[in-house]
Amino acid sequence: MTNQKIQLESKSQFDSIKQTFQSMVLKSLETKKSAISNVAKTGRPAEVITQEIVDRMDIWFQDLMALAADNIEINGIPLNQVTEDHEPVDEQLLKEADALQQMVQDKLVQVALLRKQIPSEIDKLNKETLEIITKNTQEAHLEFGNR
How many CA atoms does the CB half-sphere of 45 hold within 13 Å? 3
**Does residue 146 fall inside a structural domain?**
yes
The secondary structure element, H or E, covering residue 31 is helix 11-31
Residues 94, 131 within the same domain: yes
**C-alpha 104: how far from chain center:** 21
Residues 77, 107 within the same domain: no
Give the structural domain span for 23: 6-81
Name which residue leads in pLDDT, 22 or 104: 104
Across the strands, what pairs with 6? 72
Residues 58, 108 within the same domain: no
Residues 71, 102 within the same domain: no
**Does residue 1 fall inside a structural domain?**
no
Domains held by the chain: number: 2
- Mean pLDDT calculated for residue range 47-53: 78
Mean pLDDT check: name the lowest of 22-26, 44-48, 121-125: 44-48
Give the global pTM: 0.43
pLDDT at 88: 58
pLDDT at 124: 92
**Does residue 141 fall inside a structural domain?**
yes
Work out the percent of the chain whose per-residue pLDDT is above 70. Answer: 84
Those residues whose C-beta lies under 8 Å from the C-beta of residue 58, and which sit 6 or more positions away, are 22
- Mean pLDDT calculated for residue range 53-76: 82
